[in-house]
Amino acid sequence: MMHRLHARFDRHGVDEWAAKPPAGTAPEAACHMMSELTPSGYSLVFTRVKRAARKRTCALTDLGCGLGRAVAHAVASNAFVRARGYESVPLRALAAQSALTDLRLDGRACVTEGNFCEHQVTTACALSFDVAFDRLTLAALAARLETSPALRAFVSFKPPRRWREAGMRSFELKETGRVQSSGEERFTYYIYAKEPGHSV
Ligand SMILES: C[S@@+](CC[C@H](N)C(=O)[O-])C[C@H]1O[C@@H](n2cnc3c(N)ncnc32)[C@H](O)[C@@H]1O
Protein backbone atom coordinates (compact mmCIF):
# COMPACT_ATOMS: atom_id res chain seq x y z
CA MET A 1 0.00 0.00 0.00
CA MET A 2 2.71 2.51 0.95
CA HIS A 3 4.66 1.62 -2.19
CA ARG A 4 1.62 2.23 -4.38
CA LEU A 5 0.90 5.43 -2.54
CA HIS A 6 4.35 6.93 -3.03
CA ALA A 7 4.50 5.72 -6.65
CA ARG A 8 1.32 7.72 -7.25
CA PHE A 9 3.14 10.85 -6.09
CA ASP A 10 6.33 10.00 -7.98
CA ARG A 11 4.41 9.67 -11.22
CA HIS A 12 2.67 13.00 -10.72
CA GLY A 13 5.51 14.35 -8.67
CA VAL A 14 7.05 17.67 -7.99
CA ASP A 15 9.72 17.67 -10.71
CA GLU A 16 7.31 16.64 -13.41
CA TRP A 17 4.74 19.14 -12.17
CA ALA A 18 7.25 22.01 -11.97
CA ALA A 19 8.85 21.19 -15.34
CA LYS A 20 5.50 21.02 -17.10
CA PRO A 21 2.89 22.71 -14.90
CA PRO A 22 -0.74 22.54 -15.97
CA ALA A 23 -1.86 25.33 -18.32
CA GLY A 24 -2.61 28.53 -16.44
CA THR A 25 -0.20 27.91 -13.52
CA ALA A 26 1.36 31.19 -12.41
CA PRO A 27 5.18 31.11 -12.77
CA GLU A 28 5.68 31.84 -9.07
CA ALA A 29 3.49 28.84 -8.21
CA ALA A 30 5.48 26.54 -10.49
CA CYS A 31 8.84 27.72 -9.16
CA HIS A 32 7.92 27.90 -5.46
CA MET A 33 10.23 25.58 -3.61
CA MET A 34 8.65 22.18 -3.02
CA SER A 35 10.28 19.63 -0.76
CA GLU A 36 8.89 16.38 0.51
CA LEU A 37 10.32 13.68 2.74
CA THR A 38 10.98 10.06 1.91
CA PRO A 39 8.43 7.49 3.21
CA SER A 40 10.75 6.54 6.09
CA GLY A 41 11.27 10.23 6.87
CA TYR A 42 7.54 10.77 7.27
CA SER A 43 7.17 7.64 9.39
CA LEU A 44 10.00 8.81 11.65
CA VAL A 45 8.74 12.34 12.26
CA PHE A 46 5.15 11.13 12.69
CA THR A 47 6.21 8.66 15.40
CA ARG A 48 8.23 11.34 17.18
CA VAL A 49 5.57 14.05 17.06
CA LYS A 50 2.92 11.67 18.45
CA ARG A 51 5.26 10.73 21.26
CA ALA A 52 5.87 14.41 22.04
CA ALA A 53 2.10 14.97 22.01
CA ARG A 54 1.66 11.99 24.39
CA LYS A 55 -0.93 10.52 22.03
CA ARG A 56 -1.31 7.04 20.59
CA THR A 57 -4.28 7.90 18.46
CA CYS A 58 -4.80 11.35 17.07
CA ALA A 59 -5.09 13.46 13.94
CA LEU A 60 -2.61 15.56 11.97
CA THR A 61 -2.74 18.94 10.26
CA ASP A 62 -0.25 19.58 7.45
CA LEU A 63 0.41 23.32 7.29
CA GLY A 64 1.24 23.79 3.61
CA CYS A 65 0.47 20.34 2.23
CA GLY A 66 1.73 20.83 -1.33
CA LEU A 67 0.64 17.90 -3.49
CA GLY A 68 -0.62 16.00 -0.43
CA ARG A 69 2.04 13.36 0.03
CA ALA A 70 2.36 13.80 3.80
CA VAL A 71 -1.40 13.88 4.31
CA ALA A 72 -1.78 10.67 2.31
CA HIS A 73 1.12 8.96 4.11
CA ALA A 74 -0.29 10.00 7.50
CA VAL A 75 -3.52 8.06 7.05
CA ALA A 76 -2.40 5.27 4.68
CA SER A 77 0.32 4.25 7.15
CA ASN A 78 -2.21 4.50 10.03
CA ALA A 79 0.12 6.88 11.86
CA PHE A 80 -2.90 9.16 12.24
CA VAL A 81 -6.61 8.42 12.22
CA ARG A 82 -7.35 11.52 10.18
CA ALA A 83 -5.32 14.18 8.40
CA ARG A 84 -6.10 17.59 6.99
CA GLY A 85 -3.92 19.75 4.80
CA TYR A 86 -4.03 23.45 3.97
CA GLU A 87 -2.48 24.64 0.73
CA SER A 88 -2.43 28.18 -0.65
CA VAL A 89 -1.56 27.36 -4.29
CA PRO A 90 -4.94 26.39 -5.80
CA LEU A 91 -3.58 23.91 -8.37
CA ARG A 92 -1.57 22.10 -5.71
CA ALA A 93 -4.61 21.89 -3.45
CA LEU A 94 -6.60 20.48 -6.38
CA ALA A 95 -3.87 17.95 -7.22
CA ALA A 96 -3.67 16.89 -3.56
CA GLN A 97 -7.42 16.37 -3.23
CA SER A 98 -7.47 14.40 -6.49
CA ALA A 99 -4.63 12.17 -5.24
CA LEU A 100 -6.57 11.47 -2.02
CA THR A 101 -9.67 10.57 -4.03
CA ASP A 102 -7.70 8.29 -6.42
CA LEU A 103 -6.13 6.53 -3.47
CA ARG A 104 -9.51 6.24 -1.71
CA LEU A 105 -8.16 8.06 1.29
CA ASP A 106 -10.65 10.90 1.07
CA GLY A 107 -12.78 9.46 3.87
CA ARG A 108 -9.98 10.07 6.36
CA ALA A 109 -7.99 12.86 4.75
CA CYS A 110 -8.87 16.15 3.11
CA VAL A 111 -7.23 19.26 1.75
CA THR A 112 -8.53 22.79 2.06
CA GLU A 113 -7.32 25.46 -0.31
CA GLY A 114 -6.27 28.64 1.49
CA ASN A 115 -3.89 30.29 3.92
CA PHE A 116 -3.22 28.09 6.94
CA CYS A 117 -2.83 31.18 9.13
CA GLU A 118 -6.56 31.78 8.77
CA HIS A 119 -7.53 28.44 10.32
CA GLN A 120 -7.24 27.26 13.89
CA VAL A 121 -5.43 23.92 14.19
CA THR A 122 -7.94 21.48 15.68
CA THR A 123 -5.68 18.40 15.75
CA ALA A 124 -3.20 17.31 18.44
CA CYS A 125 -0.29 17.12 15.99
CA ALA A 126 0.86 19.24 13.07
CA LEU A 127 3.50 19.20 10.38
CA SER A 128 5.04 22.48 9.30
CA PHE A 129 7.37 21.82 6.37
CA ASP A 130 8.58 25.39 6.75
CA VAL A 131 12.05 25.24 5.17
CA ALA A 132 11.11 28.01 2.73
CA PHE A 133 8.68 30.01 4.91
CA ASP A 134 9.69 33.67 5.34
CA ARG A 135 9.61 35.71 8.58
CA LEU A 136 6.14 37.11 8.01
CA THR A 137 4.64 33.67 7.37
CA LEU A 138 6.42 32.25 10.40
CA ALA A 139 5.16 35.11 12.63
CA ALA A 140 1.57 34.63 11.44
CA LEU A 141 1.88 30.88 11.88
CA ALA A 142 3.35 31.23 15.37
CA ALA A 143 0.38 33.39 16.39
CA ARG A 144 -2.00 30.78 14.97
CA LEU A 145 -0.31 27.85 16.70
CA GLU A 146 -0.28 29.73 20.01
CA THR A 147 -4.04 30.19 19.74
CA SER A 148 -4.87 26.59 18.83
CA PRO A 149 -5.63 24.93 22.19
CA ALA A 150 -6.02 21.39 20.76
CA LEU A 151 -2.51 21.42 19.32
CA ARG A 152 0.02 19.60 21.51
CA ALA A 153 3.06 19.06 19.30
CA PHE A 154 4.36 19.88 15.85
CA VAL A 155 7.21 19.02 13.50
CA SER A 156 9.15 21.95 12.06
CA PHE A 157 12.37 22.50 10.14
CA LYS A 158 13.15 25.81 11.83
CA PRO A 159 15.31 26.04 14.97
CA PRO A 160 14.07 27.48 18.29
CA ARG A 161 15.73 30.87 17.67
CA ARG A 162 13.60 31.41 14.54
CA TRP A 163 10.38 30.48 16.37
CA ARG A 164 11.26 32.73 19.31
CA GLU A 165 11.82 35.64 16.89
CA ALA A 166 8.43 34.78 15.36
CA GLY A 167 6.79 35.16 18.78
CA MET A 168 6.38 31.52 19.81
CA ARG A 169 6.20 31.23 23.60
CA SER A 170 4.34 28.15 24.77
CA PHE A 171 5.99 25.37 22.76
CA GLU A 172 9.36 23.92 23.77
CA LEU A 173 11.89 21.99 21.75
CA LYS A 174 11.66 18.27 22.59
CA GLU A 175 13.85 16.61 20.01
CA THR A 176 15.84 17.15 16.84
CA GLY A 177 17.19 14.76 14.20
CA ARG A 178 18.03 14.47 10.53
CA VAL A 179 15.81 13.28 7.68
CA GLN A 180 16.22 13.02 3.94
CA SER A 181 13.97 14.63 1.35
CA SER A 182 12.71 12.83 -1.75
CA GLY A 183 15.21 15.04 -3.63
CA GLU A 184 18.07 13.65 -1.48
CA GLU A 185 18.57 16.85 0.51
CA ARG A 186 19.16 16.41 4.24
CA PHE A 187 17.11 18.45 6.70
CA THR A 188 17.20 18.87 10.45
CA TYR A 189 13.75 18.40 11.95
CA TYR A 190 12.66 19.92 15.25
CA ILE A 191 9.80 18.58 17.38
CA TYR A 192 8.10 21.18 19.59
CA ALA A 193 5.52 20.42 22.25
CA LYS A 194 3.36 22.30 24.71
CA GLU A 195 3.75 21.38 28.34
CA PRO A 196 0.58 19.74 29.74
CA GLY A 197 -1.54 22.33 31.50
CA HIS A 198 -0.01 25.25 29.59
CA SER A 199 -2.87 27.63 28.88
CA VAL A 200 -2.95 29.99 25.90
C1 LIG B 1 7.45 22.06 1.24
S2 LIG B 1 5.92 22.24 0.46
C3 LIG B 1 4.81 21.02 1.05
C4 LIG B 1 5.28 19.68 1.52
C5 LIG B 1 4.22 18.87 2.19
N6 LIG B 1 3.99 19.32 3.56
C7 LIG B 1 4.66 17.41 2.22
O8 LIG B 1 5.36 17.03 3.16
O9 LIG B 1 4.34 16.69 1.27
C10 LIG B 1 5.29 23.66 1.36
C11 LIG B 1 3.95 24.14 0.85
O12 LIG B 1 3.46 25.16 1.72
C13 LIG B 1 2.61 25.99 0.94
N14 LIG B 1 2.38 27.25 1.68
C15 LIG B 1 3.28 28.25 1.95
N16 LIG B 1 2.69 29.21 2.68
C17 LIG B 1 1.39 28.83 2.88
C18 LIG B 1 0.28 29.41 3.56
N19 LIG B 1 0.39 30.59 4.20
N20 LIG B 1 -0.90 28.74 3.59
C21 LIG B 1 -1.01 27.54 2.96
N22 LIG B 1 0.00 26.95 2.30
C23 LIG B 1 1.20 27.57 2.25
C24 LIG B 1 3.41 26.14 -0.37
O25 LIG B 1 2.57 26.55 -1.43
C26 LIG B 1 3.99 24.73 -0.56
O27 LIG B 1 3.17 23.96 -1.40
CATH 3.40.50.1820 fits 2-194, yes or no: no
Average per-residue pLDDT in the chain? 87
DSSP class of residue 175 equals E
| Ligand 1 lined by 115 (C-beta under 6 Å) | yes
The model's pTM is: 0.89
pLDDT above 90 covers a percentage of the chain that reads 70
Phi, psi (rounded to 5 degrees) for 65: -95, 0
Question: Sorting pLDDT into bands at 50, 70 and 90, what band is 31?
Answer: very low
Ligand 1 contact via 95 beta carbon (within 6 Å) = no
Nearest CA owner, ligand 1 atom 26? 66
Q: Report in angstroms the alpha-carbon separations of 184 from 35, 36, 91, 117, 138.
A: 10, 10, 25, 29, 25
What are the helix (H) ranges across the chain? 2-11, 14-19, 27-31, 39-53, 69-76, 90-102, 135-146, 160-165
At 170, is the pLDDT very low, low, confident or very high (cuts 50, 70, 90)?
Answer: very high
pLDDT higher than threshold 70 for residue 18: no
Measured distance CA(158)–CA(162) in Å, rounded: 6
